[in-house]
Amino acid sequence: MAADPTISLKIRTALAEYLKCDPATILTTQHLRDDLGLDSMAVIELLYRIEEAFDLQIPDQDLVGLTTVGHVVSYVEKRVGKTASPASTKKPLKPSKPKGKKKS
Amino acid sequence: MRSRVVVTGLGVVSPIGIGVSDFWKAALAGQSGISAITSFDPFPIDGYRSKVAGQVRDFAVERFVNSVHGERVDRYAQFALVAAKEALADSGLRMEKENPHRVGVIVGAGMGGMVMGEREITQLYQQQKPHRVHPNFIPVITLNSASGILAMAYGAKGPNLTISTACSSSAHALGQALHCIREGRADVVITVGADASITPLVFAGFCALRALSSKFNDDPEKASRPFDRLRDGFVMGEGAGTLILESAAHAKKRKARVYAEIAGYAATSEAYHMVIPREDGLEVAHTMKLALADAGVPPAQVDYINAHATSTSIGDAVEARAIRRLFRSRADKITISATKSLIGHTLGAAGAIGGIASVLALHTGQVHPTANYDDPDPACALAGLSRSVQERPVKVALLNAFGFGSNNAAVVFKQVKRER
């Protein structure tokens, strides 16, 4: 089985597919509305895709804090780490990350 | 004095061609767009009594409309976007030069966004996961999704309406657009009919009504045969037609090419039965008479009828009876054709596509053939029907459209003298 992409890459890829751009151009610091131009409906569609990709349900009250790419990534990391695994693999993502990763 | 209203642009998506030029060439050749159903795949067709339809082949919205709009709507509204784009280009209208509040959109649609509708309903019932219903489900199935997306795509901020009266929807769209311009509420109305619901559930529903042809599953091109003795039900089709309607003064001011005048319209109800027309044809005759009176044209001047003619046993007989009732001895002198013989019954699009065939008959002097009119049924034979193209000047055309719910519409188009 191919290595799992990271949660961040998966989310940026989903965004890039939606925006029809290169995932490499999407930064975690970008604001979904102000930088990427997603309107509120587009954010809902994005979260729908993320729910499917990570087999999650995002409750309404959690939507408020999800305004940047980084917010979405850390939210999903937190949720996936705690409970479910991504729908595409049966393994939790966090333990599959390279062990003993170096901080630069 | 009320404004005269003219047709200045045409666009079509049909089972015999995408684009007016291909559509009309195929129509004049009597080419059939009916074939074995493939759109259900992988859903099996075996259990259906009828297995044929007029499907629009190889349609990919991004080939025609370069915008995000196409991706956000269902197939019927994608057809509408494509037909409207062609019609606007054909009309020469430049939206940047128009007052956007004077440009309206009126769409006739019978079924709406059933492709996504069926998919989401099926998934919900199978999986029982309400949180997995797509966020676009409601905007897509809401019946004004086409009129809404057209306004957004083309910047039309005038009256924006959707009319849903089953199979007569877009004939009413034409009539309401005529009224809208006559009353001075808009200079231009992008008038559309669209439907695309050859889907497992909708098709099963029409099968259940015993409304569809089932004798010609092995010979699909023979299945749609209005007024013929062997007809055994309608053939479902899909598509869209757009006519740009405009006040004559506005068209003159911008030196637009004018195809025809849309001169009259009538809307009635038979108040009789949800799916069966009155056998005596009285109400249909009355509807045609009212539309002609609205146009100020005596019945004696009608020289072409684009018949509703769905190829059902009772429907065609009633329409023929109504034509005889109204036109009496002249009934056999009127040229008649049935567009559904070529493309099937496109439901909400039927009035608009029949309207295009009517306008082109006035404009070109050619009336397309009625396919499979091989053995005229004595119950509804009319001398003006032909399997061949008929070339003759047409000055006044009458378009009929009838819908479930006891609904009738008729629209009158007139030839316009070419101004040099």
Residue B415 pLDDT: 97
Q: What residue ranges define each of the domains in chain B, with the CATH number in brackets?
A: 5-414 (3.40.47.10)
Q: Tell me which of A48, A51, A54, A57 to substitute to probe the interface with B (most B C-beta atoms closer than 10 Å).
A: A48
**Residues B261 and B248: beta-carbon distance below 8 Å:** yes
Whether residue A52 lies within 8 A of chain B, CB to CB, comes out as yes
A44 to chain B: which residues are within 8 Å by CB?
A: 135
Cross-chain residue pair B135–A51, CB shorter than 8 Å: no
| Residue in chain B lying closest to A41 (CA) | B135
Kindly tell me if the per-residue pLDDT of A2 is higher than 90. Answer: no
| B345/B309 Cα distance (integer angstroms) | 9
Kindly tell me if the per-residue pLDDT of A102 is higher than 90. Answer: no
Pairing relation of β-strands B239-247 and B188-195?
antiparallel
| B119/B138 Cα distance (integer angstroms) | 13
A57 to chain B: which residues are within 8 Å by CB?
A: 131
Count Cβ neighbours within 10 Å for each residue of B237-264 and write b for 16 or more, e otherwise: bbbbbbbbbbbbebbeebebebbbbbbb
Kindly tell me if the per-residue pLDDT of A88 is higher than 60. Answer: no
Omega before B226 within 30 of 0, i.e. cis: no
**pTM for this predicted structure:** 0.92
B327-363 pLDDT tens trace: 999 999 999 999 999 999 999 999 999 999 999 999 9
DSSP string, B169-181: HHHHHHHHHHHHH
CATH of domain A7-91: 1.10.1200.10
- Cβ-in-10-Å burial (0-12, 13-18, 19+) of B275 comes to middle
A51-81 pLDDT tens trace: 998 999 999 899 989 999 999 999 999 998 7
Structure tokens at B278: 């009155």
Phi and psi torsions of B366, nearest 5°: -125, 135
Whether residue A41 lies within 8 A of chain B, CB to CB, comes out as yes
Element (H or E) spanning B206, and its range?
helix B200-208
- B65/chain A closest Cα distance in angstroms: 16
Structure tokens at A98: 């390279």
Least confident of A69-73, A78-82, B273-277, B376-380: A78-82
B135 to chain A: which residues are within 8 Å by CB?
A: 41, 44-45, 48
Residue A94 pLDDT: 39
Q: Which residues 6+ apart lie within 8 Å of B106 measured at CB?
A: B147, B159, B160, B161, B162, B163, B173, B176, B177, B180, B189, B190, B191, B192
Give the residue carrying structure tokens 């009320």.
B2
> ipTM for the complex?
0.77
SS (H, E, C) B226-264: CCECCCCCECEECEEEEEEEEEHHHHHHCCCCCCEEEEE
Structure tokens at A8: 């961040």
- B136/chain A closest Cα distance in angstroms: 8
Give the torsion sign (CA, B60, B134, B349, B414).
negative
Kindly tell me if the per-residue pLDDT of A91 is higher than 80. Answer: no
B148-164 pLDDT tens trace: 999 999 999 999 999 99
Mean pLDDT of chain B, nearest integer: 96
Would you call B345 a catalytic residue per the annotation?
Answer: yes
Cross-chain residue pair B135–A45, CB shorter than 8 Å: yes
Cross-chain residue pair A41–B134, CB shorter than 8 Å: no
**Residues B26 and B17: beta-carbon distance below 8 Å:** yes
Omega before B44 within 30 of 0, i.e. cis: no
Q: Give strand pairing partners of B366.
A: B391
Q: Which residues 6+ apart lie within 8 Å of A95 measured at CB?
A: none
| B189/B88 Cα distance (integer angstroms) | 11
Phi and psi torsions of B178, nearest 5°: -60, -50
B196-250 pLDDT tens trace: 999 999 999 999 999 999 999 999 999 999 999 999 999 999 999 999 999 999 9
- A57/chain B closest Cα distance in angstroms: 7
Kindly tell me if the per-residue pLDDT of A97 is higher than 80. Answer: no
| B195/B122 Cα distance (integer angstroms) | 21
- At B417, is the pLDDT very low, low, confident or very high (cuts 50, 70, 90)? confident
Torsion of CA B256, B259, B264, B269, to 10 degrees: -120
Which amino acid, residue A103? K
Select which of B69, B167, B363, B380 is catalytic.
Answer: B167
**Residues B175 and B265: beta-carbon distance below 8 Å:** yes
| Residue in chain A lying closest to B133 (CA) | A48
- At B68, is the pLDDT very low, low, confident or very high (cuts 50, 70, 90)? confident
| B393/B412 Cα distance (integer angstroms) | 16
Whether residue A35 lies within 8 A of chain B, CB to CB, comes out as no
Select which of B345, B363, B368, B380 is catalytic.
Answer: B345
Ranges of each domain in chain A: 7-91
Q: DSSP H helical segments within B92-168, as ranges? A: 114-127, 137-141, 145-154
Select which of B69, B172, B286, B308 is catalytic.
Answer: B308
Which amino acid, residue B48? Y
Would you call B308 a catalytic residue per the annotation?
Answer: yes
Would you call B69 a catalytic residue per the annotation?
Answer: no
Structure tokens at B196: 């695309």
What is the count of residue pairs from A and B with beta carbons less than 8 Å apart?
11
